[in-house]
Amino acid sequence: MDVLATAGPEHFAAAMQALMDELNIDAVFLNFVTPFFVDTLGVAREIAAANSRSRKPIVATVMTEKKGWAETLKVIRDSGVPTYDMPETGARVLASMGRYAALAARPVETFVPFSGVDTARAGAILRAAASNGLTLLPADAAFELLDCYGIRTARCSMASNVEECVTAADRIGYPVVLKVEAPGVIHKTERGGVVLDLRDGDMLAAQARQMAERFADCAPKFLVQEHLASGREVIVGANAVEGLGHVVMFGLGGIFVEVLKDVSFEIAPVTESEAQRMIESVRTCRLLEGLRGQPGVDLPALSECIRRTSQMVTSHPEIRELDINPLVAYERGLIAADVRVML
């Protein structure tokens, strides 16, 4: 509503009363530039009076020279109206108030834990790592931890040398993926520590020998893993935050999480509706739902994985960081292809 530059106290009073009386208006965002030819102190008093009568929030932007109009500003601020220098700031504040109201109006849910999880075995895995002074859980132990909480993982086996790699692959079935397992090697792909789609023992043995030479100074072991069919790669993770407990994360996975940074967060434990909102709130959600003839992924299974991860870190606060990346999602089900657990 434009009251024009010449508007005085009576015009502001009438305009604000009209906005307060209109049922389809929920808040008033007031932009006031203080002309020298207007009774600005009178306008400020009308703003204060309107605020005292109204149950609707008022946010004010007062664009002025602060010393010359100090008393006008004081009257508005002392009345309890949030007052800012620039419209952009006031608009962000009002938007945040709306988001807060929406959050506060959400129904309170109770987290329902999954039955059938093996909390005792998971605790034993973590205690064994801690007793050995480890802060990064070995890959086979990390996959076993996910299994304790009903999160499906790619079949895998740890190997100490080339011969054990081939034996493991024969048991898993080709094609396989070969990954290095060594202290300090976290971003394996960047350092040449991951080889995909190895289709026979000769290819596997050759790559294992090269990898052993490349990481000879790290006393490496190897993880032999089934090669998964292509699907949509997502990430589910958690991070311990002082004063909050664990914050659970979801987003598009693989290398895209670092490039797009399209992720959502919730504080654990995460309920069913919260997990659903986490999925829906990422900008790339349309890719997960299916787009232009491409099939979508199993969203209920994805929600369940988020909640199972939430339950895991809530039950085991010694987990400092957890990243399931990539978590390969299909039309039916999903499989964890890689996991990192920091204690």
Cα angle 67, 71, 75; round to 5: 135
Cα angle 165, 169, 173; round to 5: 175
Supply the DSSP string of 246-301, one letter for each residue. EEEEEEE-TTHHHHH--EEEEESSP-HHHHHHHHHHSTTHHHHH-BTTB----HHH
Number of domains comprising the chain: 3
**Are 191 and 243 part of one and the same domain?**
no
**Are 245 and 221 part of one and the same domain?**
no
**pLDDT tens profile 176-204:** 999 998 877 767 777 788 999 999 999 99
| Rounded alpha-carbon distances, angstroms, from residue 50 to 42, 79, 247 | 12, 10, 42
Domain-ending residue, one of 201, 227, 253? 227
Residue 270 inside a domain? The answer is yes
- So what's the pLDDT on residue 218? 81
Domain-ending residue, one of 80, 104, 128? 104
Residue 304 inside a domain? The answer is yes
Residue 214 inside a domain? The answer is yes
| Rounded alpha-carbon distances, angstroms, from residue 258 to 107, 135, 252, 267, 288 | 33, 23, 9, 21, 18
- So what's the pLDDT on residue 155? 94
**Are 247 and 302 part of one and the same domain?**
yes
Which segments in the chain show pLDDT lower than 70? 186, 254-259
Residue 34 inside a domain? The answer is yes
- So what's the pLDDT on residue 193? 87
Closest CA to 316 of 141, 139, 108, 109: 141
- So what's the pLDDT on residue 257? 66
Using DSSP's 3-state secondary structure scheme, residue 59 falls into strand
Residue pointed to by tokens 């202290």: 183
Residue 16 inside a domain? The answer is yes
**Are 338 and 242 part of one and the same domain?**
yes
- The CA R_g of the chain, rounded to the nearest whole Å, is 29
Pull the structure tokens for residue 263.
């992720």
**pLDDT tens profile 315-335:** 999 999 999 999 999 999 999
- Element spanning 210, H or E: helix 201-214
- What type of residue is 177? V
**Are 160 and 222 part of one and the same domain?**
yes
**Are 236 and 332 part of one and the same domain?**
yes
Domain-ending residue, one of 227, 253, 284? 227
Residue 302 inside a domain? The answer is yes
**Are 287 and 274 part of one and the same domain?**
yes
**pLDDT tens profile 66-91:** 888 899 999 999 999 999 999 999 99
Residue 115 inside a domain? The answer is no
Average pLDDT, the chain: 92
Residue 136 inside a domain? The answer is no
Pull the structure tokens for residue 212.
């052993």
CATH number at residue 16: 3.40.50.261
**Are 204 and 180 part of one and the same domain?**
yes
What b/e readout covers 73-110, taking b as 16+ CB neighbours within 10 angstroms? bebbeebebbbbeeeeebeebbeeeeeeeeeeeeeeee
**pLDDT tens profile 261-280:** 789 999 999 999 999 999 99
Cis peptide upstream of residue 35 (ω within 30 degrees of 0):
no
Distance, CA of 72 to CA of 34 (rounded, Å): 9
The boundaries of the domain holding residue 336 are 232-342
A 10 A CB-CB count for 158 gives 17
**Are 304 and 222 part of one and the same domain?**
no
CATH number at residue 175: 3.30.1490.20
CB-count exposure of residue 319 (10 Å: 0-12, 13-18, 19+): buried
What pTM was estimated for this model as a whole? 0.75
CATH number at residue 250: 3.30.470.20
**Are 221 and 240 part of one and the same domain?**
no
**Are 269 and 325 part of one and the same domain?**
yes
**Are 222 and 248 part of one and the same domain?**
no
